[in-house]
Amino acid sequence: MAEYLFDGKKLKKRSGQKQGELDGNIIKAWNGEQVGEIDGSSIKDVNGKKVLEFDGKNIKDDKGKKIATIEELRKVVEGQAGIPLVAVWYFFVWK
């Protein structure tokens, strides 16, 4: 059973504690502070630096090195696979 739940907008621990949310393409922490953004198939930090890329299956860091697959991620975060899931996982679970 996954430790986190993502409903497409909010990421919560299984206990119900809010970790972060997606507001359009903007990724925000539980307190509303912007931590990053989704830009096409890339995920950028708050300074606009590319930190991840997602090709639909593999998650790669800014240098192109594979760090995980979507299947591995879904063991930790339950939710519909896609770049929004990858983004909240990166900022609130993996990082």
| CA 93 to chain centroid | 8
The residue-averaged pLDDT of 11-22 equals 96
- C-beta neighbour count of 61 within 10 angstroms: 14
4-6/77-78 β-pairing: parallel
| Total domain count, the chain | 1
- Residue 95's pLDDT is what? 77
- Residue 10's pLDDT is what? 97
What stretches of 1-95 show up as alpha helix (H) in DSSP? 70-73, 83-89
Q: pLDDT digits over 30-78, tens only?
A: 999 999 999 999 999 999 999 999 999 999 999 999 999 999 999 999 9
Residue span of the structural domain in which 11 resides: 4-94
